[in-house]
Structure 1
Amino acid sequence: MELPIKRPDRIIPDYSLTGDVLSFSRCQRSYRYYNGSSLPPSRPVQLWYGEFLHGMMERTYRLWQENQSLPFPLHCTIPEEGERPDEPVGLPALDLRVIGWPIEQALAHQGKFARSSDARISAYERAEAVINQLGPHLFPLVDVAERKVIGTRPLLPGQNSNVERATRYILEGIIDVLGHTQLDDQPEGNPLKAAIVATQPDLNGEYEIIIDYKGSRRPPVDTDERSDWQLGEWQVQTYAWLRSQQPEARPVAAGILVYIGELAPGTNELSSLKREMRRGRTDVVPANGTPDYYQINAWEPGRQVNLSGDFKMRRAIRIIPVTQASMQAATAAIDRVVRAIEDRVVDERTSNHIRQTWPADSQDEATCVACDFRVSCERYNSRPWPQSGQ
């Protein structure tokens, strides 16, 4: 007598666009180790860095909202090397380190810490750059801050429906929303408004613009589905779809990605920009003959540059037009990634073997260097990358 296989308990898996979909796309095995088990990563640098910058933007915006103004530029007392994120003593209330320390403490309670003192100092430097350079132009445009968007989507069918754990999945994220009324009220010199109008000159009526922040630099233009360029667009388009599911939402006309690393570029950012300009792989370059052009082409590690504020702002702001077709294409791509994750879950349940089920397939050196499990990773050890962990 044959007994039917017991169907697994049905659940609705919950997926975050950044914590799940983007992490899985960067490296499947790293995603499994960090997110698929109860062991937290010892150095979740990407989580800490991104959440710290989001927290700094939100807290500073709330202060601006309460007072309808702030004395820009705000000062930031940079932490000293090895200093613990305890309450700063003797600093002015609007010092950005005073604003940042409770965010650090909240992240520490979640087991999230900066990778190093250098990473912590860099986060404060970039928070100072984005708040002072973008804040005066951004804060008056915000209609809704830190809004959680959530929706459910059907899970694409797998090969064996008898072992599927779900037929739908939950997708969620957090965004800021810019309103059309606020945009109309701003002068033409507002760089965010100018960038939106240049990309979407025919905007009219009621609409919304969604915005998200990346602590990284502007990635090179790349059509590969796993590239940061393409993943960033899918993320914004999917956020727009999630926002459109909310009852009070107006039509989303565009999304904005702010690459904070472009506002305070360091050695890595300048080196990458110079290389991408030479290879024609970036979409925002200085005009030939301008001081920015000469500075970048003459730059060598260890030299200082003084790029113009206009050029840095153009590098930092990426406008992504949103249409029904673009949202549909992006969410379909996200559906495929979620289906791939669910397939790995089913395969691991059958094989009981993590390394065979979840391939180490990262294509990015920085992701590998920041991974706690790189020492035993055949992918990392087979590449001519520096293995000192810096």
Structure 2
Amino acid sequence: MNDEFLPVAEPDLSQVEEDLVLEALRSGWVSSLGSFITRFENEFAHFCQSPFAATVCNGTVALHLALVVKGIGHGDEVIVPSLTFVATAAAVIHAGATPVFVDCVPEMGVLDPDAVKAAISERTKAIIAVHLYGHPADMDPLVEIAIRYNLLLLEDAAEAHGATYKGRKVGRLGSLATFSFYGNKVMTTGEGGMLVTSNEEDDSRVRFLRDHAMDPQRRYWHPEIGFNYRMTNLQAALGVAQLGRFEELTAKRGMILNEYRNQGLEQQFGIAINPQKEWARPTPWLVCAVLPEGTRVGAREQICEYLLSVNIDTRPYFWPIHKMPPYENCRRVDKNGDNKLPNAESLASRGFNLPSSTKMTLRDIHRVSTALVKGLREHI
């Protein structure tokens, strides 16, 4: 009999989630009004050590709304990392602005501050710092750049709930921060997102625009064109339950990550497993394996194909966005001002994610590691 399929990620749902979702269902408040919306917003704001948090229907619209609220639009440039999920750049396009892609630091894959400085032009209005695969971007130099050049600094924390940078929670390091609660994240609402800010005016503006820009004092009067970006009470109930279990969920993922690190893959094959900087406490979202520099082109794909043949799921690193057809004519800049992004392209070609579900057992991790060793010996 074949071993069970091991997915890269799956939600961890318990009786707590079932009870709260049923409570929301039985209340009759199943759309975008209900007590769980307010409760989730208040509890998540407290979690981020921030005064304000507003729910939205997913992380992508959270990014879009953040840009709109801050007045980013036609004619503006927004600096984004090329190595990230495509939603970061798509949100810029949806806001009417133009993304400018910059290179990352070699190990972590997060924004290179030197590349950000090299990319600034007269049209630059904002920087989006992505906390990639749960690891915070190096925010202090980015804050300095934003202040020096009078730029908006946004955090895309879709993958980094609870991560800290020099002891400070992500979500309160820029002007606005966005989070995703997609089903594969460390906590989920199925689909869903959140905008976090310390600015009351920005928070009010988010709430206004997410609800069709309806005047809060004059029902069904819409002085502007808004959006239907609201989260449902059912989703918020799920979010409240997951947030209440956050320490449990991340502790499980942390133990899984540490067990992978104890398999000796780095010592035997030079594979980096979730490298991190000393100033960061990343969120253990997905287990990241990065093959050594100089690895033969195509080796990663062959390794992942072999793992799939023995019922082990993997996921390649994000493609650099500047390589994709809709974005290939956008400006791109590395730390030297050149239009090649060698670090992003190298990491994207060598990195992949291993099964990281909280349901993984020690036997499962050993099974993955044993199969991975066999694949490595055959293909690198």
Q: Which has the higher contact order (CA 8 A, sep 6+)?
A: 2
TM-score normalized with structure 1 length = 0.25
- In our comparison, the structure showing a higher alpha carbon Rg is 1
Question: If the length of structure 2 is used for normalisation, what is the TM-score?
Answer: 0.26
Q: Relative to total residues, which structure has the larger helix share, 1 or 2?
A: 1
